[in-house]
Amino acid sequence: MLEVPSLLSFGGEDARKGFTGNLNAAFSFAGINASSSSSSSKSWMYQVFLSFRGEDIRKGFAGHLHAAFSDAGINAFLDDKELRRTEFIKTQLEQAIDGSMISIIVFSKRYADSSWCLDELVKIMECREKLGQKVIPLFYNVDASDVRKQTGSFAQAFEKHEAGICEGKLEKEKVQQWRNALTQAADLCGEDLKNTYNGHEAELIKKIIGEVNKQLHSQYKLDIEHPVGITSRLWDLSDQLDIESGSKDVRMIGIWGMGGIGKTTLAKAIYNKFERSFEGRSFLANVREVIVNQAINGLVGLQEKLLNDILKSKEAIKVGSVDVGITMIQERLHCKRALVIIDDVASIQQVKAIARDRDWFGPGSRIIITTRDQHLLEQIGVDSTYPAEEMDEEEAIELFSWHAFKRDYPNQEYLDLSKRVIHYCQGLPLALEVLGSFLNKRTTSEWESQLERLERSPHETITKILRISFDGLPSHTDRDIFLDISCFFIGMDQDYVTQILDGCGFSATLGIPILIERCLVDVSEENELMMHDLLREMGREIVREKSGRDDPKKFSRLWNREDVTDVLRDESGTEAIEGLALDLQSSDKASFSAATFTNMKKLRLLHFNNVELTGEYNIFPKKLTWLCWHGFPLDSIPDDFPNQPKLVALDLQYSKLKIVWKDCKFLEKLKIINLSHSHCLKESPDLSKLSCLEELILEDCTSLSEVHSSIGDLGRLSVVNLQDCNMLKDLPLNFYNSKSIKTLLLNGCSRFENLADGLGDMISLTTLEAENTAIRQIPSSIVKLKNLEILSVCEVTRSPSTNLLAPSLHGLSSLRELVLEGCSLTEDAIPNDLWSLISLENLDLVDNDFHSLPSLSGLSKLEILSLDGCLNLCAIPDLPTNLKVLEAAGCTGLEKMPDFSEMSNMRELYLSGSYKLTEIPGLDKSLNSMTRIHMESCMNLTANFRKNILQGWTSCGYGGIVLDGDDIPDWFDSVHENNILDFNVPQSVGRNFKGLTLSFVYSSDLDNEIPVVISITDLTQCTVFEAWITDIAEQYDYELGNHYVWQGQLSNDELKLQDGNQVLIQIMPQDNCVKVKKTGVSLVWDKFMNENMTEYDLCGYQRRPSQKAGPSHDISDDSIDLKNDNGITESQHFSELPYLEDCNNDFHKDLSCVISLIDLDLRGNDFHSLILFPSGLSNLQTLCLNDCIHLRAIQDLPTRLKVLKASGCTGLETMPDFSKMSYMRELYLNDSLKLTQIPGLDKSLNSMTRIHMEGCTNLTTDFRKNILQGWSSCGYGGIFLNGIYDIPEWFELVDDVDNQVYFEVPAGRDLKGLTICFFYSSDYPELEDSQGPIRITVKNLTKQTALHARIAFASGQLSNDVLCLQGGDKISILVRPLVDFVRVKKTGVYLEWDKLMKENMRNPDPHLYDLETNRIFSGGVADGAGWSHDASVPTNQSNAVDEPLAVEGCLARLKTHMSSGKESAASLN
C-alpha cells in the first residue's frame, strides 16, 4: 500500500451517512485508503481527506465512496461518527489535513451550515496554496455557482453566519475567510453529480477513484538516475504505444537489444510517463533474474505482484500455483485498462504465465516486454518491436560525465581521457555508467592506468552483464560460432562465414540467426557480420578464461598479434588451438618455420596476412576449413602442401602466385576460391578436381590473360568474378557449356572483346555485367537465356553502336534490369521489340544519342526509366501505365511528352533542364500518385500547366514539386520574405483541418543534392516536428543563383496541430550555399491528402519536445521584446532589424534572460558592441553575427557556446578570453581586419574542429604560431589563415611549386599522423564562404592503397589511425581542388610523433574518408591529378591520366572570402 497521505473532507452532519459514506466505500473498493474526520482521535498520514456534511450524505454517497477507496487500497480519512467537536478534535483534523496529499470536498446543500466544515475548507485551501495539496471539489446536488457566489442554500447558511457576527458569536474576518475559500474551491476543476453524471453516484465514484489513483501514482516514479537520451526515444516509441489516442485495442510492444543497452531504463521512462493514463499498472522488473534466483516460486511471485499492483486490494492476493495465477489474471484483470511492463524476459514460458493473451486485460491496455531475444518477440506475436540503440556521442559524453564528474560535460583536464573512454564504450550505457562511476574522483594517472587495463581485458562488471546472453545460448555450437566470429570474422560477409562454419559442423545456417536474434551479432546493410566492441572483448575474454589466461598456447583461438607471434616463433602450438589469425602490414612481414604447426592437429581456421613460412609443408594442418592467406609469398602452392579434405574456402588475395598449382589438388569440399589482386597470376587454376566449387573470384588479376578450360566442367560453379582483369580478351569456348553459372562479372575488363555465341547455352545465367569493356556485339544467342535477370553493358569502348545489341531481344522473358548507359546508341541501334521484355522493371538508357524511342507501352512491369543526358531526344513515346519513376533530366532537346492522364502509378518525375517543354498533357490527372516532380530550368512551361499541378498536388511527406520561379503562388494564406514564418491555426468550426501546403523560393550555388529540413514548432504544445522530406536537387543549367520554387504538403495526421495553436515554420537547407528567399503556407481544409512516407526509408519525420513555448510577438515585427521569453530555443532569425542599433544594456539583459536559447542569429545588424551574460544564456550553442560591420567588441560569451560566426565584421577589434571555452568547436572570423589575436584561444584548441580567419591580415606572429602548433583535431575542418606568411618554417617537407609532396616514413618511432598545410588562391571574389571541395589523397606507394579525405575546404590533421602508415612506406600526398578556379601553390607536410591527435568524431559527412586499393595505380604516382566529376567543371589537362578517379558526391561550387587572386593558407592536420 502506498504510504501517501490523503484526506477526505466533508461537512459531517450533511454528508456523513450518504454521499460521504458512498465515496469512502468507493475509495475502499479501488484500493484507496480513505478516512473521515471523525474516525479516530489518532493522528495519521492519509492519501485522501474527505470533507463533507454528515447529515446530508453520511450513510449514502460518502459511505460508498469510502468503501471504494478501501477496496482500492487508498488510505482516506473519513469521520463516519457523530463526534462531539472539541478543540482537541479540531487540532487532529487540522493535522490530518496537513498530512494528506489529496482533499476531496463534497459540497452538499447544507455544507455551509457547518462552521466545522467551513474551517476545514479554509485549512484545506491554505494547504493547497502552501503545500501544493491537490483539491477536488464534488458538487453533490448543488450548483457550482451557488458555492462560488454563496447563493441558493449557501446564501441561507451565510445569513445565519452574518447574524452570528451581529450577535458577537462570529468574527467578520472569519466569515469573509469562509466566503473566499468557497469561491476559490468552486473555481477549481471538479465533478458535478447532477449536471455531469445525471445523478448516477456509481459513475461519479468510479471517476473519482480513477482521478485519485492518477494523482497518487504520479508521485511515485521509477528511479532513473540520469535520463539522458530518453526523451527522443520516447518520441520514437509514441506511435507504437498509441496510449493517448483513446484506442481500445490491447497492444503488445517488444523492446529488444543487447545487455546494458538501456531497455529497462526506457521501459521505466514509459511507465513514468504514461502510468497515470491507466486504471492499473505493474512493473515486473528483472524477470530473468527472479526466475533464476527463485526457480520454484519465481513465476508465482510475479503473478502475485501483477495482481496486487493492479487490483490494490487491502489484503494481499496469494496465488497457489502458476495455473491458478493464470486463471486469476484472466478473471480479475480482463476489465482493467492496465499498463504492464515485463522486464528482461528470457523465455516464452515466462510471458505465457503473465500475459499470454491480450484478452486477459481490459480494452486500451498496453503490455511492454523487454528482452535480449528478438525471436522470442516473434514467437509471442507482439504488435510491434523497438530495437534499442546505442547512444550517440553527445549522449554518451553526457551520461558518462554525470557518473564521472557529477555534471553533464567533462572537466577540461579530463576531456581527452573521457573521449577515449567514450570510444571504448561504443555508446553502451551500461559501460558508460560502470566506468564513469569507477573513475569518479580519480586522478588522470589512475584514468590512464585503467584505460591500459581495459586494453588488456574488459571490465568484470560489464562482462558479467553481457555474458548472460552468451550463457543463455541454446547449444554449445552456438557458443562456438559466437567465439569464432568474435575472434576472426567481424566485418566479413554473412553468407561467406556461414559456409565456412557450416563446414566446421556448427550448423551456422541456424546458429548465426540465433546470435542475431539474441543481439550478440548484428548484420550491416552490406550483409557484413558486426559486433559491438565490448561483446567482441567479452568473447575473447571467454576464450582466455577457458584456456588458462596466461598461457596462449592453450587457447582454443589465437588472434592477438603478440600471442600468435610468440607461439609461432617458439613452435609451442598445441592441439588446443582451433583458430589462428596473424594480420601484419607489408612493412612488418614475418617469417616462421612451417614446423610450428606440427602439433596444431585441430586447427580449423587459419588467417595470415603478409606472413612467410619456411621449410617443408607436409606437416601443415590437414583439417583446415578456412585458409585465408593474404600476400601468399610463393609463386605456386607447393607440391608437398597436404590435401585438405575439409577445406571450404581458399582465400589467397594479394598473392605472388604465377600459377596456383602444378597439379590440381583434390579438395572435395572446396566451395570458394578468391585470388583477387594477384597481379602476377597469368592463368586461372586447373579446377578439374574441385567438384563442389561454387565461387571463383579473380578480381583485379591484372596479368590474367587466360582462363583454364576446366571451368566449363564444374557442375556447381555459380559465380565467376573477373572484374578488372584488363589483360583478358575472351573466355574458353567450353566456359559457355556451363549449366550452373548464375553470375558473370566482366566489368573493367578493358580488352575483353568477344562473348561467344555459346552464351545462349548458359541456361542458369541470371546476371551478366560487362561495363567498360571492348565488347563489339552482344551475341544474338543471348535471347535464349530465359533466366537472365540483369544485363549491364555500360560505357563499352570501340563498339559500333549500330550492332551492339541483337536486332531482337524477344525471349529474354526474365530480364528485370537492362543497363545500356553511355553506349552512343542511336534509334537504329535500339531493338524495336523492347516491348517483348515482359519482366523488365528498370531500363537505363542514360547518355545516349538517339532522337526517339520505340513504344514502351507494352512493358507492363517497367517501373524505372532513365534517360538523363540524352541530348538529342526530342520526344518520349507512350509509356507503360505502371511506370513509377521517369528520369529525363538534362534532355535539352526534349519537346514532347506523352499523355500522363492514365499514369496512375507514377511516383517521381525528373525533367530538369528540359528547356523546350511547355507542358505535360494529363499530368494534373495523375497527381494523386505522384510524390516528386522536378522541372527546374524548364523555363517555358505555360502558366495554366504550372497552376494546375501546384493546386492539384495532394501528396504529403517525401518529395514535392520544384519549378523555376521567384515567387510563391498568390493563393497561399501567408508569405514571408525569408525562411521563417508563424501563424495561428484558426477554429475549424464546420470544416476539417487536413494539413499544410508549404512553399519556399530558393537559390543555390551548388550542383549536388542538398537535404532540406522543414521544422514545424508548435509553440502552444511545445513540440518540434522535423520533416526530412525533400532536397535541393542537382541543377542542369549551370547558371548559379537561379531561383526555384518548391511546394509540398504535410498532413495533420502527422503534425497533430489543434485549433488556436501558435505555429512556427522554418525552412533549413543543410548547406549555407542554398539561400531561402521566401516562405509560404496555406492551410488545407476538407481536402484529400495522400501520405506517402511509408515507401521512403531515406527520409522521415522526427517529433521531439521543444522547450517552453516561444515568443508571443509577431515574427514580422521589427522591434522584438525578449524579456522573460525563457522558453525560446531558436531565435526567429533576428537579422537586418533596423531598430537593433546602439543596443542599450536593457536589450542585452533582456536577451540574456532567454535561458533556453540554443541558436541566436543577429547577422547584418548595426550595434557596436555585444554583451551576452553567460549566466543567462547558459544553453546557447550557436551565435551568428556575420556582417555586423559596426561591431567593435564582443565582451563575453557563454562557456557552452559551440559555434561563433562573425565573418565580415570588419570593425571587430576585441574578442573575449577563450581560455574557458572548452565546448567551442567552430570559429568563423573571416575579414576581421583589425583583429590581432584572440586571448586564450590556444587553451581551448582541444575542442576545436575548425577556425576560419581568412582576411585577418593583422594577426600577430605569436598568435598564429601558437594555434598552428597547438592544433590537435583530425579529420573534418582545420585552420584557415591569410597566406601572406608562407607555410610555417617548422614544416619538414615542402613543395614550393606544386600541390604534391613525396616522402618515406622513417622507421622506429610511433607515427601519430600528419599535419598538412597548403597555400592556395581563388579567382572568384564574389563568392562568400570558403567551404568547397578539396580532396587530400594520401597514396601509400608501397602498399598500393590510397586514402581520399573529402574536406569542406581543407582538413585538419590526418590521424595515422586512419592512414595506417608504417616505417619504410613511400608516400605521395596530393592536394587537389575539384574545380579549376582554385589553385594550390605550395604544399607542406609535418610528421607528428608521440603527439595526441584527436579524431573529430562529429564528422558531418559519412564519406569523409574513402579507401581505395590497387585500382588507381596504373598511371604512376601522379595519376588522378586532373580528375573531374563532371564535364562542366574543367580540369587541368596537363595532369590528366588514362584512368581518372571517379568519386561520387564531391563536386560543389566554391565560395570564398578572398578577392580575386588573393592567396590563403590552410593548415591541415
DSSP H or E segment with residue 397 = helix 393-405
HEC secondary structure over 764-823: CCCEEECCCCCCCCCCHHHHHCCCCCEEECCCCCCCCHHHCCCCCCCCCCCCCEEECCCC
DSSP H or E segment with residue 1358 = strand 1358-1359
Measured CA to CA, the distance from residue 802 to residue 555 in angstroms comes to: 65
DSSP state of 240: H
Cα of 1354 vs its chain's centroid, Å: 27
Query: How far, CA to CA in Å, does 800 sit from each of 824, 845, 876?
Result: 9, 16, 24
Query: How far, CA to CA in Å, does 730 sit from each of 567, 709, 735, 806?
Result: 47, 12, 10, 20
Catalytic residues, by residue number, are 120
Cα of 869 vs its chain's centroid, Å: 35
Phi, psi of 817 (to 5 degrees): -135, 125
- Can you read off the three cell numbers belonging to residue 300? 508465482
848 — alpha (psi -120 to 50), left (phi > 0) or beta? beta
3-class state of residue 974 by DSSP? strand
Helices (H), 1005-1129: 1052-1055
Q: Which residues pair with 908 in a beta bridge?
A: 885, 932
* Sheet of strand 366-371: strand arrangement: 280-284, 338-345, 366-371, 251-256, 384-387
How do strand 1311-1322 and strand 1382-1393 relate by DSSP bridges? antiparallel
Query: How far, CA to CA in Å, does 1079 sit from each of 565, 968, 997, 1100, 1367?
Result: 66, 8, 11, 21, 57
Measured CA to CA, the distance from residue 893 to residue 219 in angstroms comes to: 71
Nearest by Cα to 559 from 572, 544, 548? 544
CB 1077 within 8 A of CB 977: yes
Measured CA to CA, the distance from residue 1037 to residue 1258 in angstroms comes to: 41
DSSP H or E segment with residue 1018 = strand 1010-1018
Q: Which amino acid is at 900?
A: F
CB 1085 within 8 A of CB 988: yes
Residues 6+ apart with CB under 8 A from 276: 214, 217, 218
Query: How far, CA to CA in Å, does 1201 sit from each of 605, 1159, 1172, 1204?
Result: 53, 10, 11, 7
Nearest by Cα to 1364 from 465, 583, 817? 583
Q: Which residues pair with 1010 in a beta bridge?
A: 1032
Specify the length of the chain in residues.
1469
3-class state of residue 1104 by DSSP? strand
161 CB-contact burial (10 Å; exposed 0-12 / middle 13-18 / buried 19+) = buried
DSSP state of 253: E
- Can you read off the three cell numbers belonging to residue 566? 610468440
Q: Which residues pair with 1390 in a beta bridge?
A: 1315
Q: What is the DSSP string of 687-705?
A: -TT-TT--EEE-TT-TT--
Helices (H), 167-200: 172-186, 193-196
- Can you read off the three cell numbers belonging to residue 648? 571450404
Phi, psi of 983 (to 5 degrees): -160, 165
- Can you read off the three cell numbers belonging to residue 446? 589512475
